[in-house]
Chain A
Amino acid sequence: MNRALRFLPLLVLIAFVGAVAWRLSSPADQKIPSKMIGQPVPTFALAPAIPGRQGLSSADFSSGRPRLINVFASWCVPCIAEAPLLTELKHRGLPIDAIAVRDRPEDVAAFIERNGDPFDRIGADPESQVQLALGSSGVPETFVIDGRGVVRYQHMGPIEPGDVAMIVQEWEAAK
């Protein structure tokens, strides 16, 4: 018994490492899965986030072609990180609209100036109302909306290089 006991702390450690390794390999599902998938986008009409550009309204999503909505803000650091990937999606032929959350026109303009402008329309959502109505509670988030205005996919958090192919697939599937 004496000998075996010496290895007891080691066993506790192995159990701990096992549990943590499991968590690392299957990250916690902390999100409530999107409630919006399969639902039509809520009715909204947003003023342009930058003077002279087009604003965004729910009517823009019944054109028959699937589109992306990117929910972002100029004060959001991860949004900078994903900006080049949005530009890449644009080059692959995915039309993208944006909602700028709690933002000022001059800041949005500066953000686009610096990080590229893949957006067809940019709506301003100063009170986060449309953002919340879309079931998004943070930035950035990206939605795939099909040609009839139904949400097909919701991507929470920044798009990472590995996600691009998946988003293109979701978009193809929404056609």
Chain B
Amino acid sequence: MMVRPKHQRLVLLILAVTALIGAVLFAMWGLQDRAAYFVTPSDIAAGKTAPGKSMRLGGMVVKGSLKRNPDGLTIRFAVSDTKAETAVVYRGITPDLFREGSGVVAEGRLGPGGLFIADTILAKHDERYMPPQMANQ
């Protein structure tokens, strides 16, 4: 069938709007369980977080808490925001700035027993601070 010109624009418009709404709904559905919320040890201690959901945990690596497993690859440490602490386990190569007492952001999930299983560890800061005028790159 040949759609009449007058109708054709309307049909295309409806198609476009449907596609747009569809995309937004699809995006919202995707964001529902895939956006990683930024949480602190206090949030975890207060039970605000559901186990199994991906999230980012931020805080300081507690001094004296860093332990290496005998396999040489797995590390365990505690992250604190001064009010609460969360135990974290991570397997892999740690970033250069990762040290006891330094800021850290761990990406991962909360496992059973309140243990945070990290997939990625990001050191919190660049070694340099950049003033606004220079922070282009």
Contact = CB atoms under 8 A, between A and B. Distances in A.
Does A touch B (CB under 8 Å) in the complex?
Answer: yes
Interface of A: 2, 5, 32, 35, 76-78, 81, 132-133, 135, 137-141, 156-158, 160
Contacts of B103: 32, 137
B126 A138 contact: yes
B17 A138 contact: no
A160 B134 CA distance: 14
Given A78-B131, A81-B131, 10 more contacts: A5-B17, A35-B60, A35-B81, A78-B130, A78-B134, A137-B103, A137-B125, A138-B126, A138-B129, A141-B129
Interface residues of B, number: 24
18 contacts: A2-B13, A5-B13, A32-B59, A32-B60, A76-B128, A77-B128, A77-B131, A78-B130, A132-B102, A135-B101, A137-B102, A137-B103, A137-B124, A138-B126, A139-B128, A139-B129, A157-B131, A158-B129
B131 A156 contact: no
Contacts of A141: 129
Interface in B67-108: 81-82, 97, 99-103
B123 to A, nearest CB: 8
Contacts, number: 54
Nearest to A77: B134
B126 A32 contact: no
B82 A78 contact: no
Residue of A5, A132, A135 with most partner-chain B CB within 10 A: A132
Contacts of A77: 128, 130-131, 134
B1 interface: no
A134 B82 CA distance: 15
Given A5-B13, A35-B82, A78-B134, A138 B127 contact: yes
B39 to A, nearest CB: 12
Contacts of B128: 76-78, 138-139
Nearest to A32: B103
B129 A156 contact: yes
